[in-house]
Chains A and B, each alone.
Chain A
């Protein structure tokens, strides 16, 4: 029964990883770049919510409603000010600039908020403690269900946005062929900036739930980037629903590893990735490329 419990916990943890991963997947799908500051941006979102909560004592969920528009604006600005220029400079430059950005964000957070570990778990109200007791050993935590539900809704909305709206179609067109899209009147610059804005906002949302579910500090970002990347690789690059599958596989692997020995938790997730890469499934997924 412990094992069933581990799998259930892992599935719900997968919801958080899918939330983290969908922004990474979207940026890769649209612009073919990997934002190495993605994890740090999620932590920035967590600190943004934490600051609002700290000053107003409002619920983190309400605070997130204030923080997410800010994240959208930050994402738009990030694209216009930094990524656009990097994209023009060649395929390697976005990696270097986003890695530099990651260092800047981490150390700014360190300078402003101190290295203390923070959590929003205590401020989120009854949801953090609520759970459904199924049997003696198996209980389903309310927060886990909420995160998984938010992840599914976010992915569903993103999918609908990409397939049904005008901007979504423009985004897919630009992803396939930016020059051709430009010829039919699509402003690639604007499309890219909106895609980054959405990616940064989803990272902020993931940061919110990370902060409620556990703890965070200025150096938490890189780990989150790695988890997001792993979810994307397992699920297939550029596939949105794939990130949910990837997130859940990663979450379950970590939960099962933890069940064996708490030290094996993260290692188990990494080993899944190495197996995916070794069996060639990874390269197949990577080669299949992006259909955002």
Chain B
């Protein structure tokens, strides 16, 4: 199906072919699911909501609930106030969530709906029951990407819910970013093992990785509670993982409640996990327990056992900016050579940060924000790579060019591992490394001539 892709690269201004991003609202919906008892609400046409739920369901293989304002032509002329009021009334009457998290769509943004005014009105006329909350984030689809939407909703949690009452010197905030429930579960395990008390938000573990117990619950037991979010303003500091997804909320928390923050990358791979553990140790005032030290030791052992297979392998990486930045660092740790490093999301920080990481090992790498998979394919046709790492959509390129492929990031629509196994922390790094190693060696075993087919590798 990619037979139309040529190596000849023409400048393209006006179109996007095979995107490496999607729109803001889906990120906001995902973030909102990380609050306990929360109903995400899409203020727009019902198609948006259906698409986001389907897409999230394909990635998580979990039921995803969200409501919609069900815009019609009337709403697009007269504004969506009536729709939102009726929606809030229905949601609280029937589904009875603790909190509703409203995000906008391109439609409601273009007609200029003023959501804070609508929430105020709903509060005044009693549509929002006592003790219940409605928060909102503006998530125009024509700005940024799904990553921006996630960051905006996470920031909205702080704006609406974080409060400053006192000081909790032994509590810190952890903003894990747009990662899978399995990753959040692993981060919480590490935090626990370190003996640190943390408010983790948003937290989709226990929401989108449920065991099968014969029940269907609209609001599962996971997610950060509103009480915990309230207390985030009292924490001693915030560890924010990822410039694009988490730093804005941490900054907001600093400005609003004076909680200082440490800006980290996602703890993917050796270097970034070291930094994360170091930050936990410093800010939490704790020692690194022996177990965590041993986890690191096992990762290091695996890296030394296998390092000859990674040396100078050319890699194409595509995905969301925070994921790609952290992964690029890990590839450098493994002595691999990132050749093309792209994200579909806009943001200059991406290119700066990745170039900085690649300055020594791969100064000639192509690094692009706001790019797409068509462009990536053209570069690969120009000069091939040994490995592609990215979301499921990269599989077309991997197939047509016969290049080993490791699935990583969002969305993964055709494999199951991401739903159960983390890619963060030392254990996550081990798993990523195993996948990279398997992909490279499986490819060699399949493609090499008989005389080079090895039993022992």
Chains A and B belong together in one complex: no
